Amino acid sequence: MATIHDIAVGAAFNIVTAVAFLLLFAFLRLQPVNDRVYFPKWYLKGTRASPASAGATVAAAKYINLDIRSYLKFLSWMPAALKMPDDELIQHAGLDSVIYLRIYRTGLKIFVPIMILAFALLVPLNWTNDTLESLKVVHSDIDKLSISNIPYGSKRFIAHLVMAYVFTFWTCYVLMKEYQIVAKMRLRFLASEKRRPDQFTVLVRNIPSDPDESVSELVEHFFLVNHPGHYLKHQVVYNTNKLAGLVEKKKQMQNWLDYCQLKFERKAERPTTKTGFFGCFGSDVDAIDYYKSEIEKIGKEEAEEHKKVMKDPKSIMPAAFVSFRSRWGAAVAAQTQQTSNPTVWLTEWAPEPRDVYWNNLSIPFVSLTVRRLIIGVAFFFLNFFYVIPIAFVQTLANLEGIEKALPFLEPFIETPSIKSFIQGFLPGLALKIFLILLPTILMFMSQFEGLVSQSSLERRTASKYFIFLFFNVFLGSIVTGSALEQLNTYLHQSANDIPRVIGVAIPMKATFFITYVMVDGWTGVALEVLRLRAFIMFHLKNFFLVKTEKDREEAMDPGSICLYWSEPRIQLYFLLGLVYAVVTPLLLPFILVFFALAYVVYRHQIINVYNQRYESGAQFWPNVHLRIITALIVSQLLLLGLLSTKGLEEATPALLVLPVLTIWFHKYCKHRYEPAFVRNPLQEVMRKDTLERARERNFDLKAYLADAYLHPVFKSNEVDKFYVADDPGAVEVIVPTKRRSRRITPVQSEDGGSDRLSVMESVQER
């Protein structure tokens, strides 16, 4: 059992590590050479140019910051990160990012008052007992602060009971307020948005096949008949998987060509390569010529495939993006059922063009339900039985196994130092690799399920990941056993006993979770701000590949918020906080430090680093809300289980009311706020339509929407000039200065309005 002293040592160590990371970050970010690692967002926005081109006077100053004064205020980034007001931040980084930050703020809002109350009331109540001492059980000072220190049947438990009510009500109150605010922000965001193609567009799937008409004709006829006066145009979806592969391959070859040419320039010696498998086998050839000819060859194939896709009716998928004359028409089409057969002509709001997940657009209805079943079962097994394959790999990956499979390695492996390394390292390796790969695996599962937008994929994956964390990290740490063993326990215990068994174990695990919060939370967040991976990758690329400003632009990897793996982790802290709020309040300050630190760090990252991949308008908030509610209910059930062993009979019925009320609260919120995240109210779209019609009477919507929903592969094929002239209509207007700036970095006006005008002009010229 850890004593307060142990915890203090652990905390000190973690604080030192975290502070060291932060200091290192503060130092590195000041070096101009790292500018593109720590401030890529500004480069993408076009407001910051490379120091190389900024005309620095001293050569060294290009790479190292020599200004001593700037080092003195090395923590200045923190207040700077907090300064930007929300509205500006939405302009700067989109609503998704701002609402993502709100999750941390919600954490602070929930737990600060809870901590104050818990420390003012529960801690003294727990402390002024001597149950643990009188029982002579092994215990730590931390346990003296927890509920374990209260004697059996004491009336003091009533305080915990009351606190459970207070905490529940406070959490629900904060959650409701937040839901309200987020919903309002979303609506304001949607209302203030400029014209976007997805506002006018509906995605239609499962278009039935017709022997007489092509998909395109069918769509046109169907919507002309059933939405007369509203239908404008449509864009069929092509099966471009092969074409996309070719484009990808060409890009790779181009990369190699660039690399070889750079090598040639430096060494003045023409590099060679082999034509065979991964350049390892086959005959030597001149690399530059080889890659050039390959690129040409693929280019031809690509052009052919392009033609084929556009001509062949078989490459047209039974899905289409249908655009309407007004937002009202699109809102109506998206919210209504089209035919009496609910499995064909499925309509839904089109995701914004860059959010579309193209590969899944053609999956038919029956296949979708089958896929969902398969993934449901697969996820169940992954969740509860994931230890089995890992244990299997572990048994394979022992020394004897390796020696048997690869006998020639035997003398090497038998070296004592290597042997001990393998023995110490290998068994854990499989598990570690699995856990690192897990979010990706879950993402693949979600992709297989057939969702059609990146944002929905991320949300679905986040749900899966949270379930996994809940069973395997949270419950797994408490019940100490794999989820498989747990499953066995749950099945063989009564519904009454499960919360009891887990509840009783909870106070004992407090110290473990405190350590977990410090390592995973504090140090993890401090590592995030350092961006070690991006730092190394950028400098490697910068050293080996970069020759032009454009290359440097491409070497820069701003990354983005990976909602699907970061959000479930935050939820774990909510869960811990709510579960331990009544049981061991000492955990709360550690969680609060995490929330505060993460809030500052992610705010900084969002302002300076991350580049949003899409904008869903905070559609993930209902999921966040649901998971906090889940955590709340779990905490109530576990407290119920714990108190039922403490000799206070009145506690059980009193506590049973809480989950019922919480579930009801959730239902209420769902009815009250969720529609704002799912549907598009007619009043709002009508207002926008009317306004716009009054302002721009002669706007050519058809031209504006022309290529908005064309597969990106068709667009990236065009020359840049064309791309710039054409694509902005689809992408630029949404959040100014996005994709274009990845390729060329024009200095742009901050004002999106004038930008939009120029885009319109360019569109109207066509």
What is the binding site for a copy of itself (CB under 8 A)? 187, 222, 225-227, 331-332, 335-340, 342-343, 345, 365-366, 369, 372-373, 376-377, 490-497, 660, 664, 667-668, 671-676, 679-684, 686
Q: What angle do CA 257, 259, 263 make, to 5 degrees?
A: 115
Give the strands of the sheet with 316-324, arranged side by side: 231-238, 316-324, 201-205, 346-349
Pairwise CA distance, residues 560 & 476, whole Å? 30
Residue with smaller CB distance to a copy of itself, 690 or 764? 690
Residue with smaller CB distance to a copy of itself, 332 or 713? 332
Residue with smaller CB distance to a copy of itself, 250 or 327? 327
> Taking the complex as a whole, how short is the minimal distance between the CB of residue 557 and a copy of itself, in angstroms?
38
Residue 205 forms beta bridges with which residues?
346
Helix (H) or strand (E) holding 349: strand 346-349
733 burial via Cβ count (<10 Å: 0-12, 13-18, 19+)? buried
Range 263-292 burial, b when 16+ CB lie within 10 A, else e: beeeeeeebebeeeeeeeeeeeeebbebbb
> Taking the complex as a whole, how short is the minimal distance between the CB of residue 175 and a copy of itself, in angstroms?
16
Pairwise CA distance, residues 695 & 141, whole Å? 70
Residue with smaller CB distance to a copy of itself, 562 or 686? 686
> Taking the complex as a whole, how short is the minimal distance between the CB of residue 308 and a copy of itself, in angstroms?
34
> Taking the complex as a whole, how short is the minimal distance between the CB of residue 493 and a copy of itself, in angstroms?
5
- Of the candidates 180, 199, 196, the one whose C-alpha atom is nearest the C-alpha of residue 106 is 180
Residue 27, CA distances (Å) to 31, 65, 72, 541 in order: 7, 9, 10, 22
Extended beta strands in 156-280, E state: 201-205, 231-238, 272-274
Residue with smaller CB distance to a copy of itself, 393 or 661? 661
> Taking the complex as a whole, how short is the minimal distance between the CB of residue 596 and a copy of itself, in angstroms?
33
Sign of CA dihedral 443, 445, 447, 451: negative
> Taking the complex as a whole, how short is the minimal distance between the CB of residue 167 and a copy of itself, in angstroms?
21
201-205/316-324 β-pairing: antiparallel
Residue 238 forms beta bridges with which residues?
316
> Taking the complex as a whole, how short is the minimal distance between the CB of residue 497 and a copy of itself, in angstroms?
8
- Of the candidates 231, 227, 453, the one whose C-alpha atom is nearest the C-alpha of residue 339 is 227
Give phi and psi for 238, each to the nearest 5. -95, 150
Pairwise CA distance, residues 559 & 206, whole Å? 34
Structure tokens at 380: 């169940």
Residue with smaller CB distance to a copy of itself, 369 or 420? 369
> Taking the complex as a whole, how short is the minimal distance between the CB of residue 684 and a copy of itself, in angstroms?
6
Residue with smaller CB distance to a copy of itself, 81 or 368? 368
Based on C-alpha coordinates, what's the Rg of the chain? 29
> Taking the complex as a whole, how short is the minimal distance between the CB of residue 206 and a copy of itself, in angstroms?
12
> Taking the complex as a whole, how short is the minimal distance between the CB of residue 335 and a copy of itself, in angstroms?
4
Which CB contacts under 8 angstroms, 24+ apart, belong to 749-753? 750/47, 752/194
> Taking the complex as a whole, how short is the minimal distance between the CB of residue 633 and a copy of itself, in angstroms?
15
> Taking the complex as a whole, how short is the minimal distance between the CB of residue 477 and a copy of itself, in angstroms?
23
> Taking the complex as a whole, how short is the minimal distance between the CB of residue 47 and a copy of itself, in angstroms?
34
Return the amino acid letter for 285: V
Residue with smaller CB distance to a copy of itself, 331 or 350? 331
> Taking the complex as a whole, how short is the minimal distance between the CB of residue 685 and a copy of itself, in angstroms?
9
Neighbours of 159 (CB within 10 A): 17
Return the amino acid letter for 11: A
> Taking the complex as a whole, how short is the minimal distance between the CB of residue 331 and a copy of itself, in angstroms?
7
> Taking the complex as a whole, how short is the minimal distance between the CB of residue 113 and a copy of itself, in angstroms?
26
Structure tokens at 249: 């391959």
Residue with smaller CB distance to a copy of itself, 342 or 428? 342
CB 585 within 8 A of CB 144: no
Residue 401, CA distances (Å) to 422, 450, 603 in order: 12, 40, 49
Residue with smaller CB distance to a copy of itself, 61 or 191? 191
Residue with smaller CB distance to a copy of itself, 78 or 344? 344
Q: How far apart are the first and last CA of the chain?
A: 74
> Taking the complex as a whole, how short is the minimal distance between the CB of residue 359 and a copy of itself, in angstroms?
22
CB 108 within 8 A of CB 599: yes
Residue with smaller CB distance to a copy of itself, 258 or 674? 674
Structure tokens at 526: 């401090």
Residue 383, CA distances (Å) to 244, 379, 389, 437, 623 in order: 34, 6, 12, 14, 20
Residue with smaller CB distance to a copy of itself, 279 or 675? 675
Neighbours of 212 (CB within 10 A): 6
Encode 664-691 in three state secondary structure: HHHHHHHHHHCHHHHCCCHHHHHHHHHH
Encode 455-471 in three state secondary structure: HHHHHHHHHHHHHHHHH
Pairwise CA distance, residues 703 & 176, whole Å? 43
Residue with smaller CB distance to a copy of itself, 331 or 586? 331
Residue with smaller CB distance to a copy of itself, 79 or 376? 376
325 burial via Cβ count (<10 Å: 0-12, 13-18, 19+)? middle
Residue with smaller CB distance to a copy of itself, 336 or 440? 336
Pairwise CA distance, residues 511 & 2, whole Å? 6
- Of the candidates 475, 509, 505, 477, the one whose C-alpha atom is nearest the C-alpha of residue 586 is 509
Residue with smaller CB distance to a copy of itself, 479 or 759? 479
Residue with smaller CB distance to a copy of itself, 340 or 417? 340
> Taking the complex as a whole, how short is the minimal distance between the CB of residue 671 and a copy of itself, in angstroms?
6
